[in-house]
Structure 1
Amino acid sequence: MSPLIEITDPRVFDPEVILIDVRAGADARQRYLAGHLPNAVFASLDEDLASKPADAAYGGRHPLPALADFAATLGRWGVTPNSHVIVYDDKAAAMGGARLWWMLRAIGHQHVQVLNGGLKAATDHGITLSTDDYQPQPAPAYPVPAAYNGTADIDEVAAAVKSADRIVIDVREEARYLGKTEPLDLIAGHIPGAANLFYAGNMGADGKYLPPEQLAALYQGAIGDVKPENVIVHCGSGVTACHTLLGMASAGITAPKLYVGSWSEWSRRDLPIAGEE
């Protein structure tokens, strides 16, 4: 199953599919109620796909929710291990859609796809949006594993940037990577030794992901001879990095890890920081 699905695919509106609309920000629910795909469940990036950080120095600004909490949330949405889940957001998958896709894959869920182009692809296609507060039929708590798979912690990242056989990729925009600006975290710059590959390069002018062969060439240019399982991807807080991990999966590169704490954790731990060179 491709990790991306087009709005023209009839499975998007299959009544057996669990369709999930992920929104971020204080007005997330209001935007959802203003217009969403019919029968799409509302999901909040901040409330459902992250826990409240007690200290961003340990886990970053968007730490993963406890697995028991995520299991209960999936049950509330009606998701079971056999469900075909299609997720989307209103940010061309840069935010919550890719994060939820990654989280489901990290607990072993097989049948999950992201709507390529997000909500805009649907409205461009003429889909009539709904303004109801859709409530799905709940299911038992999802049977989650003992841990999220495919994560790298701060110690693994610190070791990886010093290894010729591994690579850490920072997907933030170049100005943040170079330390010229930092709108969200306390200190500007990047992890010394990390490469920069801005996530927006995954997208074409139409607001959708580039074709798989173009994505493969893009990532191969960054990764080189490093094995995919030795690649670690991060961003500011572990959300937008999932956009690139989704692109990699579309290109057939499925083994890279996510550094969940990302720059928001690293920059608060009194660790080495690089800037413009």
Structure 2
Amino acid sequence: MKTNSIINTNELYQISNQSNLRIFDVRTGPNAKEEYQKKHLKNAVFVDLNHHLAEIDDPKDGGRHPLPKFGYFIKTLGRLGIDKDSDVVIYDDKNGANAGARFWWMLKAAGHKKVRVLNGGLQFAESQDYPLASGDESYPETEYISEVHDWQLPQVWIDDVKGAAENPEYLIVDVRESQRYKGITEPIDLVAGHIPSAENFPFSDNLDENGLFKSPEILNEKYTEFFKNRDSNKIIFHCGSGVTACHSLLALDYAGFELPNLYVGSWSEWSRNFDVR
């Protein structure tokens, strides 16, 4: 049976006393840990994007947030208190649009069965009076026993994307906001612009005016029209550094699609390897 990829605040509250529940706060930013310590959902443990969910080296080789080695990630899951039977719920402070969705993708790619992202993230849960806490929290360490030995969800690399950019059978989807896609502004990477032939479907279009995911039916309709009958293996999603793109993959999973390819290196890698000015 397919596990829903999204959980609502009221649903989380109903299972909050479940012994195998593991809640994780994956907010980002320069003061993320300090903000977590000031206020987070009760029982939530902090996960650091740069430390737990990426192995950062040279952005020219893998982008700003390349995936860590698979074995390291499996050990990280154990240190966080996750085992294969854990019911994992993830949130961030950006409606799941940032590291929350990245952690979800990584767990799914590691073969974990029970993992969902909290609809609306921290802000919406707080508006619904979900219990909050402060300070640091942790779960007892486990040994995560994985049945697989490498990432299981579809990925592509920079050479694959270069070929796809020259092949009209492929669709390269840039989920960054339109101003960055158009090259009008670039607040993070060295060069503004987009990968040749890439089309823009901003991740924010997955959300309604309240910062909640649109219904699976609406998302399915919008993406079906956008994909134009392409097979998922000929669709590539990317963003700036392979984090926010996972928000759109989460939306696709929620809407019932087979997951297409993720290009983790994204614009941060591409723009450092090709002359795009």
TM-score (norm 1): 0.94
Gaps of 5+ in 1: none
Matches within 5 A, 1:76-87: 76-87=79-90
Which of 220, 225, 232 matches 2:229? Answer: 225
Q: Which residue does 1:97 correspond to in 2? A: 100
- 1:195, CA displacement in angstroms? 0.7
1:251 aligns with 2:243: no
- Counterparts of 1:24 and 1:18 in 2: how far apart (Å)? 19
- Counterparts of 2:161 and 2:16 in 1: how far apart (Å)? 37
Answer yes or no: is the 8 Å Cα contact 1:32–1:42 preserved in 2.
yes
1:50 aligns with 2:54: yes
Q: Deviations over 1:98-130 (max 9, x none)?
A: 000000011111111000001112111112310
SS in 2 for 1:79: coil
- 1:270, CA displacement in angstroms? 2.2
Which of 5, 8, 11 matches 2:10? Answer: 8
- 1:148, CA displacement in angstroms? 1.7
Answer yes or no: is the 8 Å Cα contact 1:25–1:46 preserved in 2.
no
- 1:145, CA displacement in angstroms? 3.2
Answer yes or no: is the 8 Å Cα contact 1:79–1:142 preserved in 2.
no
Q: Deviations over 1:202-254 (max 9, x none)?
A: 10011110000111122122211111222110000000000100001111113
SS in 1 for 2:267: helix
- 1:144, CA displacement in angstroms? 6.5
Q: How many residues align?
A: 272
Answer yes or no: is the 8 Å Cα contact 1:72–1:142 preserved in 2.
no
- Counterparts of 1:258 and 1:219 in 2: how far apart (Å)? 16
Q: Which residue does 2:214 correspond to in 1? A: 210
Q: Deviations over 1:62-105 (max 9, x none)?
A: 11111122111100111112221111111110111100000001
- 1:178, CA displacement in angstroms? 1.1
Percent of residue pairs bearing the same amino acid type: 42
Q: Deviations over 1:18-45 (max 9, x none)?
A: 1111121221111111111111111011
- Counterparts of 2:159 and 2:79 in 1: how far apart (Å)? 35
- Counterparts of 2:34 and 2:111 in 1: how far apart (Å)? 32
Q: Give the residue type in structure 2 aligned to 1:47.
A: H
Q: Which residue does 1:121 correspond to in 2? A: 124
Q: Give the residue type in structure 1 aligned to 2:129.
A: G
Matches within 5 A, 1:96-245: 96-143=99-146, 145-149=148-152, 150-245=154-249
- 1:52, CA displacement in angstroms? 1.8
SS in 2 for 1:258: strand
Gaps of 5+ in 2: none
Matches within 5 A, 1:55-66: 55-66=58-69
Given the superposition, is the C-alpha separation of residues 20 and 212 from structure 1 closer, same or farther in structure 2, using an over 3 Å criterion? Answer: same
- Counterparts of 1:96 and 1:201 in 2: how far apart (Å)? 18
TM-score (norm 2): 0.94
SS in 2 for 1:206: coil
Q: Deviations over 1:158-181 (max 9, x none)?
A: 122222322110001111111111
Answer yes or no: is the 8 Å Cα contact 2:6–2:116 preserved in 1.
yes
- 1:255, CA displacement in angstroms? 2.3
- 1:184, CA displacement in angstroms? 0.8
**Larger displacement relative to structure 2 (140-149 or 214-223):** 140-149
Given the superposition, is the C-alpha separation of residues 81 and 114 from structure 1 closer, same or farther in structure 2, using an over 3 Å criterion? Answer: same
Which of 78, 83, 93 matches 1:75? Answer: 78
Given the superposition, is the C-alpha separation of residues 91 and 187 from structure 1 closer, same or farther in structure 2, using an over 3 Å criterion? Answer: same
- Counterparts of 1:138 and 1:189 in 2: how far apart (Å)? 44
